Amino acid sequence: MSVLYVTSRMEFVRNTTLPSSQQLTEADQEMFGITAPDLVRSYLLLCPRHTATPLCSLGNLAASLDYSGIFVKDEGQRLGLGSFKALGGAYAVIRIVVTLAENKLRRSVHPSELRSEAVSNFARDITVACATDGNHGRSVAAGAALANCRAIIFVHEGVSDKRVAAIEAFGARTVRVSGRYDDSVNEARRVSQENGWQLVSDTSQGDDEHTPLTIMQGYTVLMAEALEQLSALGRKPSHVILQAGVGGFAAASAAYLTACLGSRRPTIIVVEPERANCILEGFRAGRPVRIETTEPTVMSMLECYEPSHIALRILKRCADAFMTISDDLAVTAMRRFAAPSGEDAAIVSGESGAAGLGGLLALTQNPAWRQQIRLGPSSNVLIVNTETATDADRYAHLVGLQPDQVGLVRER
């Protein structure tokens, strides 16, 4: 295995202020409770290739790091869109179109009516919009294509041409915005308000929470599947490591685990790039803060400088610890996924997708951090590969292999 190391900039902060009871508000409990995945599935059944993504057991890696088990939920195959974001954006678009159709037709509309003439003709006049680093925009574009409405996707200047092409392949129009992700978020909001478009934002800065919450609800399917798959193996997760950009995925997963398992839930650790740690800094400040923009991180899908207010609210009440990792460690994790040892599954993981494994490697390197969260030989760790190689050229540059070569090389 590649040499692991911890730089002085990486941080680990334990949450010592967790409430002993009532960790979720009543509204969040309802939104992310045990029935949430079933509601989402009733809509996602309309999507082609809707099926559970695999849970991979990395037994050899677990043994080498002295853990009982390491399990990876591989979202690189989700709905054929390459990332967990497929669960949120497409679901939200379908929900928006169905709700607007109900208001127009003055009756309830079942999701199966999405392709009916009455709903389809109405949907042609609907425009949905969002800002994206790549994956969320692709999901929104796919949802718009399915729902027969228009999609305008705002991308910042750091989004690669290949990721833009993947969005446009669904018939969406993209708009380039100068600056970084947060700049594209602000522009998408401004233009949508001016034109009366439906903004499908996966972050909230204290304004409208309905759509971000709907998107986050979509992510509960992922964690529900993982618990079902682990149960089939006779395992229960003791620790779950969740990567965060604005925090929506981490918060939704943490909320679902808390709502369903209560005091029996696993220890939850949130990991971010050290160059874009808005969740950790917001937790430290006790409120959402916009952090200073620095040089870009290789984990581009996690490069966010202001947290979702909803996500921070939930994570303050559900996450046990917050940590950051270096770019080098994320790349090490990508390479470890690509060239496994023994019988471990080979996994194609993008830069941000590998952050969960990067976090585990950083924890393994630091005994003091491990001790604080009781991570040791009896631990079963669940991590999520949130994305596949969404830019094959960039992946090859970082890993030294083309995505279709992964699994052909194994660690000796």
For the annotated catalytic residues, the residue numbers are 85, 133
CB atoms inside a 10 Å sphere around CB 158: 15
Question: Mind giving me the DSSP string for 121-134?
Answer: HHHTT-EEEEEESS
3-state secondary structure (DSSP) of residue 24: coil
Element (H, E) at 251: helix 248-261
> Using CA atoms, how far apart are residues 255 and 242, in angstroms rounded to an integer?
12
Question: Mind giving me the DSSP string for 326-354?
Answer: -HHHHHHHHHHHHS--TTPPP----TTTT
**Token digits for 352?**
């941000």
> Using CA atoms, how far apart are residues 165 and 87, in angstroms rounded to an integer?
20
Q: What are φ and ψ of residue 155, in 5° steps?
A: -125, 140
> Using CA atoms, how far apart are residues 97 and 4, in angstroms rounded to an integer?
48
Question: Mind giving me the DSSP string for 201-250?
Answer: -S--SSS--HHHHHHHHHTHHHHHHHHHHHHHTT---SEEEEE-SSSHHH
Q: In angstroms, what CA-CA distances link 400 with 220, 389, 394?
A: 34, 13, 10
> Using CA atoms, how far apart are residues 198 and 212, in angstroms rounded to an integer?
12
Q: What is the largest CA-CA distance in the chain?
A: 65
Give the distance, in angstroms, between the CA of residue 296 and the centroid of all CA atoms in the same chain: 19
Is-contact 213 203, C-beta < 8 A?
A: no
